[in-house]
Amino acid sequence: MGAGQSTDGASNGSPEQLSHVLAERFATKCFTPLELTHFKDNFYTRAVDQAGLRYWNEKILSDFLGIPDGVDGGAGHDSPLDPGPVIFRMVSYLGAFPFQTTLAPSVLTFEAMVKVAVLLTERYGKVLRRGRRDRIKLLFGSLADVGRKETEQKVENESSEVTDDAAASHSHVAGFAVDDPVNDEEYEDDDDDLVLSALESLDAIEVFKHDQRIDKAVYEARISVNTFRRLLMLLLVIAPLKPLEPVSRYTSHLESEHLEAVRKEADSILAAFSPEETAGGISYKSFARTISETLPYLFDPLTPLFEHLLFSENLDLSRRRANTNSSDPAPEEKASDMAPSPPSPVLLQGSFTSEILNPTVLSHLSFFLSVSSSIPNLFYSRTRLHPVFSIAAHGQSLTSFSHHVLSWQSPTLLLLRGALADDDDEKLITIGVYVPQAWKPSSSAQSSINPSDPSTLPCLFQLSPTHAVFKGNPSSSAHKPTQPITYFSTNTGIAIGCHVPPSSRNKVSKPTPEGAGSLLIDGSLETADLHISLDNRSGAFLPPVPENAFPASKTSINIYDLEIWGLVPAPEPSADQSKLDAIAIQRSRWDFEAREAERRRNVNTKIGGAADTQTARALLEMAGIIGDSGKGGGSV
């Protein structure tokens, strides 16, 4: 990495010297030699050389990453999709790590970019003590821009009071001043945060602690709503991005309709932060809690975005070897060789096209939905969604619902969109439920919950107008027959997370709301009620985050669209056909159910008089041949 100070003398060095030595350690501990070679080629072939100092500016960074710049936001909005300055701010802050107070914003030298790549590609296991939690704090600091001038002045005042020796080692004027907020409850740390194992080995903890004490004393900065919206819009657009996939595939040729959908989804996420917070900017407390508890995978797209630093097309050895065996191909042939295959679709083809799911909503779902125990992110796990049921395609019939949904033998996603019944403007609302087990008949228990695996816990959520998540309650009794996660009957409708009292032949008991969150859908599939109780933790779901997402304890919805999507896990490498086989088996079940329903409709229950008819019907119901409404289709 070039000439630098020896590690032996680092303990007496300035923050600048320590930062340089740390960058060297990051490079050797977090990258393979091949990755480092690619990184150097990418950096030095593009760097600006000014008086011997080689660095990247904002344009070089944006061009390399393929970040859009100055694209019209559409619909007359003033703020375009222009994340370049936000990304550059983040990188300039992270490049000063871990001395952000005294060194940020940093010049993007090779050493600074090494630290940026380590932090944003999640290779920080050997660097940060608490992993993702420390990363959230760093990301907040890199985005904070409200009240910065005032905090900078306070940093200078604090710095003037230290000893001459300490002041000499902190002579750089701070560009950013953010760290732990005061009175941060569970997000407040007892010790100085972001202490590095590398710093401990360098005996540089005292220098680092002084930097952090200044940060704590002047903590006032916040993230402006405009800054965070610009980043959110970028993350929504590139959420499906895979390593080494060209970013332009998602950021080029963005139509105004798509950008408007992205903006609306970003505003729904922004609404999850407390209104009193967003009015003057987002505080660290609100940021850390909302991200940690309701958007744990929000920043995942930054990993493949910055992994582009670790691969240089100039050093594609496999292509070079291929070219040595033949004459150089034509330019157009080279371009096709370099183009990756098109991304595989998340939505599989089936009996209907979604009225709710689109690329932006799928990106939103990928920010919080855990669909796999090994790789929870929807896109990275290669999970696919197969259409199971839709009222637009299959009608508003619970018999049809039973036929399609009960036979699906894997987790499902219920999505509901409608208008608020009590709103004169008919404001749209979109809610959903992740059901980790197959739907069962009403008498079956659902007990395959593993508290340590989020993909086995149910999740009730709202996508718009305010993002909110009701996590599954691992300590609840939701697996008992009287409190199933899902329940439906042709008499009472669909119930999610409700208490279902035992029924008798002479009395049909209706499900009742239970716990912090529950959903009741009427038998005609026309209306739904979302019940919220912030004090009740005995049900299937925990209270929502944020708590202010629902002003009333009951939200009535006129249903416009209701869809059920089945989750199809990615096939194992050794069984590429397993996904297709699973779908083929599922379709054969639906065909069998259709034939059985037809046979049941032809059963002659009119054996004799009325008494004989009632007796025959009762026998058929007990055998499960006809449903409780007297129609074919099985017991529900």
Quick: pLDDT tens for 495-506: 999 988 877 777
Among 387, 532, 396, which Cα is nearest to 461's? 532
pLDDT for residue 605: 47
Measured between its terminal Cα atoms, the distance across the chain in Å is 68
Read off the pLDDT of residues 479-492 as tens digits, 9 standing for 90 and up. 566 778 888 888 88
Q: Are residues 99 and 247 in the same domain?
A: yes
Residue 591 lies in a domain: yes
Final residue in a domain of this structure, among 310, 331, 356 = 310
In this predicted model, which residue has the larger pLDDT, 469 or 373? 469
Residue 558 lies in a domain: yes
Contacts of 467 (CB under 8 A, 6+ apart): 268, 269, 271, 272, 294, 295, 364, 461, 549
Which of 197-206, 257-266, 572-581 is modeled with the greatest confidence?
A: 257-266
Final residue in a domain of this structure, among 253, 286, 310 = 310
Q: Is the pLDDT of residue 177 over 50?
A: no
Read off the pLDDT of residues 245-269 as tens digits, 9 standing for 90 and up. 999 889 887 888 899 999 999 999 9
pLDDT for residue 531: 92
Residue 490 lies in a domain: yes
pLDDT for residue 21: 83
Of 247-256, 397-406, 414-423, 444-453, give the lowest mean pLDDT range: 444-453
pLDDT for residue 623: 52
Q: Are residues 540 and 604 in the same domain?
A: no
β-strand partners of 549? none
Read off the pLDDT of residues 327-349 as tens digits, 9 standing for 90 and up. 444 433 333 334 444 556 789 98
Cα 144 to chain centroid distance, Å, stands at 21
Average per-residue pLDDT in the chain? 76
Q: Are residues 393 and 432 in the same domain?
A: yes
Q: Are residues 272 and 403 in the same domain?
A: no
Which of 15-19, 80-84, 373-377, 522-526 is modeled with the greatest confidence?
A: 522-526
What is the CA angle 450-452-235, rounded to 5? 115
Q: Are residues 507 and 585 in the same domain?
A: no
Q: Are residues 458 and 477 in the same domain?
A: yes
Q: Are residues 476 and 588 in the same domain?
A: no
Q: Are residues 527 and 588 in the same domain?
A: no
Mean pLDDT calculated for residue range 154-178: 41
Read off the pLDDT of residues 585-623 as tens digits, 9 standing for 90 and up. 666 666 666 666 666 666 554 445 555 666 666 655 555
CA distance linking residue 259 with residue 225, whole number of Å: 18
> Number of folded domains in the chain?
3
Q: Are residues 480 and 568 in the same domain?
A: yes
Amino acid at site 84? G
pLDDT for residue 124: 74
Residues of the chain with pLDDT > 70, as a percent, come to 64
For residue 246, CA distances in Å to 234, 307, 315, 470 come to 14, 11, 17, 35
CA distance linking residue 123 with residue 302, whole number of Å: 12
Residues of the chain with pLDDT > 90, as a percent, come to 37
* 492 touches 510 (CB < 8 A): yes
Amino acid at site 225? V
Residue 139 lies in a domain: yes
β-strand partners of 384? 568
Residue 315 lies in a domain: no
Residue 73 lies in a domain: yes
DSSP class of residue 281 equals: -
Q: Is the pLDDT of residue 128 over 80?
A: no
CA distance linking residue 243 with residue 123, whole number of Å: 14
pLDDT for residue 372: 86
For residue 234, CA distances in Å to 136, 218, 446, 460 come to 18, 31, 39, 26
Q: 95 is written with which tokens? A: 């490049």
Contacts of 220 (CB under 8 A, 6+ apart): 147, 150, 151, 154, 177
pTM of the full structure: 0.80
- Phi-psi region at 536: left, alpha or beta (left = phi > 0; alpha = psi -120 to 50): beta
Q: Are residues 542 and 594 in the same domain?
A: no
Residue 317 lies in a domain: no
CA distance linking residue 159 with residue 564, whole number of Å: 59
Q: Are residues 511 and 554 in the same domain?
A: yes
Q: 567 is written with which tokens? A: 């989750």
Q: Is 176 exposed, middle or buried (0-12, 13-18, 19+ CB in 10 A)?
A: buried
Residue 351 lies in a domain: no
Q: Are residues 208 and 118 in the same domain?
A: yes
Residue numbers of the domain that contains 588: 579-609
